[in-house]
Amino acid sequence: MHDVVDLRSDTLTVPTQAMREAMARAEVGDDVWEEDPTVRRLEEMAARRTGKETALFVSSGTQGNLVSVLAQTRPGQEAVLDADSHIFNYEGAGAAVFGGVQTLPVKTQRGFLTPEQVREHIRPNNIHIPMTGLVCLENTHNRHGGTCCTPEQIEAVAAAGHAAGVPVHLDRARIFNAAVALERPVADFARPVDSLTFCLSKGLGAPVGSLVCGSRELITRARRVRKMLGGGMRQVGVLAAAGIVALESMVDRLAEDHVNCRRLAEGVSRLPHVRLDLATVQTNIVIFRIEKDGGAAELVTGCLARKVKIHQTGPATIRCVTHKDVDGDDIERALEAFREITAAW
Ligand code: TLP
């Protein structure tokens, strides 16, 4: 039980004692010179876990996605992605600003492009039309409530891109949530794609950092782009050390977050004026609509007064995310707050 129940995001998790100790002890060097042994260890671990040749430590998921887009496209090209994707909605149009890359958003079911949609949206060779430079996927899917797609789905979509000579990037901010939920090794999801980004600073609890994984050739280009973006960090082993602890000890426990999320979602689905499709609750995110004027804002404010923090993502939508700093008692407290606030509705 915590004083404040913070369900706004798993990005709010704080580092564990073991992470803090590893950070204090970390052996470091200048990572721009590729001489930080702790960063190198983390990058090797990430490559091994994802089955890719090598990996690059970056400051955030946003930087990882941007580096991946810029390393695989040229200005004037287009990236095909889901209309609800994080890259399209929450990354400040970085691909356009820094890469001169136009995005082509496609409406999908539960956030996942199908192979047919990829084939349909890859541009024909015509001097009027932008060239397709990249296909981007996201798993688990944030705006669709943490939904997972299977390695087989990724494989089919990637094959459609590759058949047209277009590389495929996977935004795997919550890669381990999908792997734990579907009981599949992370490498199965990573194998079909050319690049992927995953985050240490969400459910895994590290304070900072993401990894871009791919072939040696791609990561060499990505390293150059990262430096250009000001992301060449120096004795950054102090941060990588927490990431190593995250990968070693925080993955299996994600299953607890999924159990808590399901409990929360089931409770929410019984509240009045709530629309929630329980089939979308597959990992640690639940998104629901309040079908009462002003109800979503009322719920947020009422919760805050009860020391429960939830996130309003639209005029009528609420998102809650479970994570290591929220336990079973906290879930009960959040549900109790929801019930009190909605009792008069
Ligand atoms: N998502 C954050 C917010 O930006 C919305 C959150 O609280 O969920 N890809 C996906 C799928 C993400 O959910 C996020 C973060 C990122 C990339 C970006 O990661 P960071 O925050 O490290 O730049």
Residue 172 has pLDDT above 90, yes or no: no
Tokens of 335: 């549900």
CA 86 – ligand 1 centroid, Å: 7
- Tallying the residues shown for the chain, one arrives at 345
User: Which residues in 282-327 belong to E strands, given as ranges?
Assistant: 285-290, 308-309, 311-312, 317-321
Tokens of 339: 């019930």
Mean pLDDT score of the chain, rounded to an integer? 97
Number of H helices, E strands in the chain: 14, 13
**Nearest CA residue ID for atom 18, ligand 1:** 61
From CA 168, how far away is CA 317, in angstroms rounded? 31
Over residues 216-237, the pLDDT tens digits come to 999 999 999 999 999 999 999 9
Residue among 5, 47, 2 at smallest CA distance from 264: 5
CA 142 – ligand 1 centroid, Å: 8
Phi, psi of 82 (to 5 degrees): -70, 140
Confidence class of residue 173 from pLDDT cuts 50, 70 and 90? Answer: confident
CA 62 – ligand 1 centroid, Å: 7
- Kindly report the three-state secondary structure assignment for every residue of 15-69: CCHHHHHHHHHCCCCCHHHCCCHHHHHHHHHHHHHHCCCEEEEECCHHHHHHHHH
The secondary structure of residue 73, as a DSSP letter, is: -
The predicted model gives 114-142 an average pLDDT of 97
pLDDT score recorded for residue 1? 80
Q: Are the C-beta atoms of 216 and 16 separated by less than 8 Å?
A: no
CA distances from 205 to 21, 154, 174, 209, 342 (A): 14, 26, 12, 10, 32
From CA 299, how far away is CA 309, in angstroms rounded? 10
pLDDT score recorded for residue 339? 98
Q: Are the C-beta atoms of 72 and 99 separated by less than 8 Å?
A: no
Q: Strand pairing partners for 55?
A: 213
Neighbours of 284 (CB within 10 A): 31
Neighbours of 294 (CB within 10 A): 10
Counting from 1 in the atom list of ligand 1, the atom nearest the Cα of 8 is 7
Residue 253 has pLDDT above 90, yes or no: yes
pLDDT score recorded for residue 332? 98
Counting from 1 in the atom list of ligand 1, the atom nearest the Cα of 140 is 11
Ligand 1, from 13, 142, 321: best to mutate by most atoms within 8 Å of Cβ?
Answer: 142
Exposed (0-12), middle (13-18) or buried (19+): which is 11, by Cβ within 10 Å? middle
pLDDT score recorded for residue 147? 95
CA 199 – ligand 1 centroid, Å: 9
Residue 299 has pLDDT above 90, yes or no: yes
Confidence class of residue 301 from pLDDT cuts 50, 70 and 90? Answer: very high
CA 58 – ligand 1 centroid, Å: 14
pLDDT, greater one: 212 or 175: 212
The predicted model gives 276-298 an average pLDDT of 97
Over residues 42-74, the pLDDT tens digits come to 999 999 999 999 999 999 999 999 999 999 999
Pocket of ligand 1 (CB under 6 A): 9, 11, 60-62, 86, 90, 138, 142, 171, 173, 199, 201, 210
Question: Please, which residues have CB within 8 angstroms of residue 152's CB and are 6 or more apart in sequence?
Answer: none
Confidence class of residue 279 from pLDDT cuts 50, 70 and 90? Answer: very high
Residue 341 has pLDDT above 90, yes or no: yes
From CA 337, how far away is CA 302, in angstroms rounded? 8
pLDDT score recorded for residue 82? 98
From CA 219, how far away is CA 212, in angstroms rounded? 8
> Structure pTM?
0.96
pLDDT score recorded for residue 159? 98
What percent of the chain lies above the pLDDT cut of 70?
100
Over residues 130-157, the pLDDT tens digits come to 999 999 999 999 999 999 999 999 999 9
From CA 243, how far away is CA 231, in angstroms rounded? 17
The predicted model gives 96-121 an average pLDDT of 97
